[in-house]
Amino acid sequence: MPKTFMPTIKSEEELRQLQLEGLQWTVHHALQGSSFYQKKMKETGVYPPDIQSIEDIHKLPFTTADDLREGYPFPLLAVPLEQVVRVHASSGTTGKRKVLCYTEKDLQDWSAMFARCYEMAGLSQADRVQIAVGYGLWTAGVGFQLGAERLGAMAVPVGPGNLDMHCEIMVDLQTTAFCCTASMGLLMAEEVKRRGLRDKISLRKVIFGAERHSEAMRRNIQENLGVEDTFDIPGLTELYGPGTGLECPAHEGIHYWADYYILELIDPETLKPSPLGEVGEMVVTTLRKEAAPLIRYRTRDLTRLVPGKCSCGNILPRHDKILGRSDDMFIIRGVNIYPGQIDHLLSQVLQVGSEFQVFLERGTDGKDYMTVKVERAEGADPQEDQAVAAQLNNLLSRQLLVGGKVEVVDFQSLPRTERKSQRVFDKR
């Protein structure tokens, strides 16, 4: 029998019991070791004996990104610094970085979670995994690498960018899996096509994450690289890094590792639980994280839980793909819009590609204006640009209830990045 990283739990009851034990351990551990959580418990009067069932999680207060920044440089720390063997950090757009500490056991747990992702994607020791995400303080590169090594596959740590080297290695080493941000996946797909390498490579799977992707982007990656399958991988620095779950082979959602963390979805306004199947903010509580445990950490990411049994047969619960972040939302003329709604809308029109940018400006008349620049699909007729722009404008007004100016621009004229793409430029 090959080694498996899937949990041995057989039923929902067994999972809930494991989660309760993990929750009780975390609250106790946080009280013992973390001055941050000691203070919070003192303020709210909720202590470990108050946690007798999973539902009791609702008694605990939330933890936020601001708490992490205020605790800089070692927020939430719940073990002596001598036990910390690694830190990672995520940049964020404002203020200090969020620095997260890891113990030896945290790294072990993370690599096991990640090996499980590869296992779910159908990878084995026979695979050669080319890693095209950033190394350094960012969790991405080392996360993909640890997981590949834990699985026993061959890690090929090339890093982001450097398309020349990626193409050379992919051909020479006959890589079978490619790991990237969605933006880097697109860059690589276009490059492999441009160089006519499709028949010289043996890529089978692409695993991409770190940012939202549209269906158009995925199609492009899948077709130009000629792979069997692609998988969306979520993750965030606060919760170890990438590899907190993986899109299942049946593509009916993302199975998340509920034996490592509890996922709640809440309404970001009322902070009450979102009804099953409705969109809410992801709030996570870790069950075995030592150095920086998370208790009801508000991620700001939006998704929904997928109810019912999955046809892939795995009993681990599912969430939908990450639809956006509550802090990505912009308001134009009184309408709330998430960039994800724009990618969804553009994916419905074949004459345009996946790449777009949204510019928000205030006119001299004091009104707000939105311009959406979108690339013409490869090979589409430029003479149709005006008609396509009019069609998109119509879709915008009907589906998002706000008009805008749509400009169809040349294929590959918008910037490409090997990291995370910025799509909204608010100049108001």
With b meaning 16 or more CB within 10 Å and e meaning fewer, what string describes 378-393?
eebeeeebeebbebbe
- Angle at CA of residue 276, ends 271 and 277, nearest 5°: 110
Question: Binders of ligand DLL: how many residues, by CB under 6 A?
Answer: 20
Q: Which of 78, 112, 236, 292 binds ligand DLL (CB under 6 A)?
A: 236
Dihedrals phi, psi of 213, to nearest 5 degrees: -135, 155
Dihedrals phi, psi of 309, to nearest 5 degrees: -90, 145
Which one of 14-22, 132-140, 267-275, 371-379 is the stretch in contact with ligand DLL (CB under 6 A)?
132-140
> Does 239 contact ligand DLL by CB under 6 A?
no
> Does 183 contact ligand DLL by CB under 6 A?
no
Which amino acid is residue 95, in one-letter code? G
Minimum distance between the CB of residue 356 and ligand DLL, rounded to whole angstroms?
A: 16
Minimum distance between the CB of residue 235 and ligand DLL, rounded to whole angstroms?
A: 4
Contact string 196-225 vs ligand DLL (x = CB under 6 A): -------------xxxx-------------
Q: Which of 63, 285, 299, 351 binds ligand DLL (CB under 6 A)?
A: 299
Burial class (CB in 10 A: 0-12, 13-18, 19+), 297: buried
Q: Minimal CA–CA distance to 168: which of 188, 144, 145?
A: 188
Question: From the CB of residue 314, how many other CB atoms can be counted at a distance below 10 Å?
Answer: 17
Which one of 34-42, 231-239, 381-389, 393-401 is the stretch in contact with ligand DLL (CB under 6 A)?
231-239
Q: Which of 185, 241, 293, 353 binds ligand DLL (CB under 6 A)?
A: 241
> Does 90 contact ligand DLL by CB under 6 A?
yes
Q: Which of 119, 281, 301, 385 binds ligand DLL (CB under 6 A)?
A: 301
Minimum distance between the CB of residue 239 and ligand DLL, rounded to whole angstroms?
A: 9
H or E element at residue 41: helix 35-44
Q: Which of 22, 71, 185, 242 binds ligand DLL (CB under 6 A)?
A: 242
Q: Which of 20, 76, 140, 246 binds ligand DLL (CB under 6 A)?
A: 140
Q: How far is CA 15 from the centre of its chain?
A: 24
C-beta nearest to ligand DLL: residue = 209
Question: Among residues 19 and 230, whose Cβ is nearest to ligand DLL?
Answer: 230
> Does 233 contact ligand DLL by CB under 6 A?
yes
Do 164 and 132 touch, CB atoms closer than 8 A? Answer: no
Helix (H, G, I), strand (E, B) or coil at 68: helix
> Does 354 contact ligand DLL by CB under 6 A?
no
Q: Which of 190, 232, 259, 385 binds ligand DLL (CB under 6 A)?
A: 232
Minimum distance between the CB of residue 27 and ligand DLL, rounded to whole angstroms?
A: 24
Question: Among residues 242 and 293, whose Cβ is nearest to ligand DLL?
Answer: 242
Length of the chain: 428
Residue 142 to residue 425: CA distance in whole angstroms? 31
Q: What is the DSSP letter of 54?
A: G
Question: Beta strands 324-325 and 297-303: pairing type?
Answer: antiparallel
Do 41 and 63 touch, CB atoms closer than 8 A? Answer: no
Do 358 and 370 touch, CB atoms closer than 8 A? Answer: yes
Binding site for ligand DLL (CB under 6 A): 90, 133, 139-140, 209-212, 232-237, 241-242, 299, 301, 322, 325
